[in-house]
Each structure stands twice: as structure tokens, then as C-alpha cells.
């Protein structure tokens, strides 16, 4: 399940967590965002339950999407720092899921985080 972030206070609250935070940045009018949202939902189903999944609608809440230049996009934060970022998608759900899982897993391993992704 994803938390829909709508204000800075909510964003600050999740980023202050001791657990990694996955934030999907999407535009509901962009077809790629719709496809990517399904991929992120699948990722959430297989990921460690300690991961916090959130979403930001960049059209309605652009202030929460600082530095996001295109949608869809995904960032993983740990201790308030971006440790992984993906911009755009391939448009192939299986490929997108595989790339996300491998990329995030590699980053987790590099910082010695033992979380299933």
C-alpha cells in the first residue's frame, strides 16, 4: 500500500523514518506514469514490509517533487538522502520491475541494508 503525499509535513514525516522510503512521482495524464504505477505496486507486494512506499502527484503537488524533471520517476531515500533514482520507464512492466529490483537491491547491498526487494 502506498501513502499519497500531499504536503511538506507528510513528506518530512516519512523522510524522518529510520526505514528506507520509496517515492513514486507521477503525472496522472502521462501514460507512462500509469504503467509505472502498476510496476511500483508490484514492487510493493514483493518488497520487505519495512519499506515505506509513497506517491506524489507532480501536477497537484509540484512543491513535493523538487528536482523531478520527468515522470514517471522513483527515488529511494534512506536517512533523508536519495540513494537510488530512476527517471522514466521502458513501458514494459516486466522489464521495469526487473530493472528497479536489481538497481535498488544493488544499492541496498552496497550500504549493507538487508531488506528484500
- Domain residue spans in the chain? 3-110
Residues 28 and 15: their CA atoms lie apart, in Å, by 24
Confidence at residue 1, expressed as pLDDT on a 0 to 100 scale? 77
14 CB-near residues (< 8 Å, 6+ apart): 3, 5, 21, 52, 54
The pLDDT profile of the chain, 117 residues, written as one tens digit per residue, is 799 999 999 999 999 999 999 999 999 999 999 999 999 999 999 999 999 999 999 999 999 999 999 999 999 999 999 999 999 999 999 999 999 999 999 999 999 999 999
Of 44, 15, 30, 45, residue with least CA distance to 87? 30
Burial class, 105, CB count within 10 angstroms (exposed 0-12 / middle 13-18 / buried 19+): middle
CATH number of 3-110: 3.40.30.10
Number of Cβ within 10 Å of residue 71's Cβ equals 24
Q: Reduce the DSSP state of residue 116 to 3 states and report it.
A: coil
Residue 99: asked if its preceding bond is cis (omega within 30°), the reply is no
pTM of the model: 0.96
Amino acid at each position: 500500500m502506498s501513502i499519497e503525499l500531499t504536503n511538506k509535513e507528510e513528506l518530512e514525516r516519512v523522510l524522518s523514518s529510520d526505514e528506507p522510503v520509496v517515492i513514486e512521482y507521477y503525472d496522472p495524464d502521462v501514460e507512462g506514469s500509469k504503467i509505472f504505477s502498476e510496476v511500483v505496486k508490484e514492487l510493493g507486494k514483493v518488497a520487505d514490509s519495512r519499506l515505506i512506499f509513497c506517491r506524489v502527484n507532480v501536477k497537484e503537488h509540484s512543491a513535493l517533487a523538487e528536482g523531478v524533471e520527468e515522470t514517471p520517476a522513483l527515488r529511494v531515500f534512506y536517512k533523508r538522502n536519495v540513494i537510488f533514482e530512476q527517471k522514466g520507464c521502458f513501458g514494459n512492466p516486466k522489464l521495469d520491475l526487473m530493472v528497479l529490483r536489481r538497481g535498488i537491491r544493488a544499492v541496498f547491498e552496497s550500504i549493507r541494508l538487508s531488506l528484500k526487494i
